[in-house]
Amino acid sequence: MTLDLTTAFAGKKALITGGLGFIGANLAIRLVELGAKVMVVDSLIPLYGGNLFNVEPIRRQIRVNISDVRDEYSMAYLVQGQDYLFNLAGQTSHLDSMVDPYTDLEINCRAQLSILEACRKQNPTLKLVFASTRQIYGKPEYLPVDERHLCRPVDVNGINKLAGEWYHLVYNNVYGIRAVVLRLTNTYGPRMRIKDARQTFLGIWIRRLIECQPFEVFGDGSQLRDFNYVDDVVDALLLAAADERANGGIFNLGAPDWLSLRDLAQLLVELNGGGSYRIVPFPEDRKPIDIGDYYADYRLIQQVLGWEPKVPLREGLARTLVYYQEHWQHYV
């Protein structure tokens, strides 16, 4: 059975790395509703997802600490006294990880290790949830992709995220620092970065749509993808944190209404009441790191934690468009 989240989080202290970013800020808002004492940590690196406006609804109810997860000393201080650590900070751009592999390594790999070392030394009883990515599977051999699929990353980002998740699992297994890994698929919704495609291609699609510009679909548009509305991802993060049965586990997220990118583009245009897109060949730098078709088998998290996505794609996209039309000036 699924846990009662209010009981789990009321009065509890939660630290969110990347807490001013897309998923982190939505999680912070939900944790405040559940009565948790929330501290968000974010580096506000301009090319990443952090945005102070993201926590506008809760700005007086949380603590905001600007620092970088690569800063071992600030992290060693901040983890102290926390009950939960939602470890969401990361470099997310696949392309950037190829152009500047060291920065990706420092953030997605080395900083994860230093966060875990900080927990081991300062607070070994806290519970960690790590946001990993379906990118680590690489080009799927079969669909839907379950957690037993081989991990064969196609870019540096996928490799470093793979290392990051295993640091968490090894610290769980060797030191008993409770940790769970969620492998997220495409997440979308309010508070995502829409300036460019660094966080998700849906960001730039929505930006262009609202700007009445055609957006670009790479390849032939036939690639299959699954999408989670951010509130569903927040649910999964909370369940993984609250439920002891998750400890040491790896769980895919996913959705039943996967579709082709072309169908997604048409759906967006329809929901927006207008707009256009162009099917263009893959840019040279993106083609070798594309993963082809992907959608997840997420039955494991259904079975173990009772999670399933609740917001259908059509509804989630509609809510997302409304959010950006309303708060446009804070995101572009």
Interface with a second copy by CB under 8 A: which residues? 98, 101-102, 105, 109-110, 113-114, 117, 148, 150-156, 158-160, 162-163, 166-167, 169-170, 173-174, 288-289
Task: Identify which of residues 123 and 160 has a Cβ nearer to a second copy in the complex.
Answer: 160
State in angstroms the smallest separation of the CB of 187 from a second copy. 24
The upper half-sphere exposure of residue 159, i.e. CA atoms within 13 Å in the direction of its Cβ, equals 11
Task: Identify which of residues 79 and 109 has a Cβ nearer to a second copy in the complex.
Answer: 109
State in angstroms the smallest separation of the CB of 124 from a second copy. 14
State in angstroms the smallest separation of the CB of 103 from a second copy. 11
The upper half-sphere exposure of residue 46, i.e. CA atoms within 13 Å in the direction of its Cβ, equals 1
Residue 125 has phi, psi (to 5 degrees) of: -95, 0
- In the 8-state DSSP scheme, what is residue 107? I
Alpha carbons 189 and 137: distance in angstroms, whole number: 24
With a CB cutoff of 8 Å and minimum separation 6, the contacts of 300 are 146, 147, 249, 251, 252
> Considering only CA atoms, which of 111, 88, 95 is closest in space to residue 236?
88
Task: Identify which of residues 102 and 328 has a Cβ nearer to a second copy in the complex.
Answer: 102
Alpha carbons 271 and 308: distance in angstroms, whole number: 24
State in angstroms the smallest separation of the CB of 148 from a second copy. 7
Task: Identify which of residues 36 and 128 has a Cβ nearer to a second copy in the complex.
Answer: 128
State in angstroms the smallest separation of the CB of 286 from a second copy. 11
Task: Identify which of residues 175 and 328 has a Cβ nearer to a second copy in the complex.
Answer: 175
State in angstroms the smallest separation of the CB of 73 from a second copy. 14
Instruction: Please count the other Cβ atoms lying within 10 Å of the Cβ belonging to residue 113.
Output: 16
State in angstroms the smallest separation of the CB of 83 from a second copy. 25
State in angstroms the smallest separation of the CB of 159 from a second copy. 4
Tell me how far CA of residue 110 lies from CA of 74, 88, 100, in angstroms.
15, 14, 15
Task: Identify which of residues 170 and 318 has a Cβ nearer to a second copy in the complex.
Answer: 170
With a CB cutoff of 8 Å and minimum separation 6, the contacts of 101 are 156
Instruction: Please list, residue by residue across 127-165, b when 16 or more beta carbons sit within 10 angstroms of its beta carbon and e when fewer do.
Output: bbbbbbbbbbbbebeebbbebebebebbbbbbbbbbbbb
Element (H, E) at 271: helix 261-272
Alpha carbons 112 and 227: distance in angstroms, whole number: 26
Task: Identify which of residues 88 and 289 has a Cβ nearer to a second copy in the complex.
Answer: 289
Task: Identify which of residues 81 and 176 has a Cβ nearer to a second copy in the complex.
Answer: 176
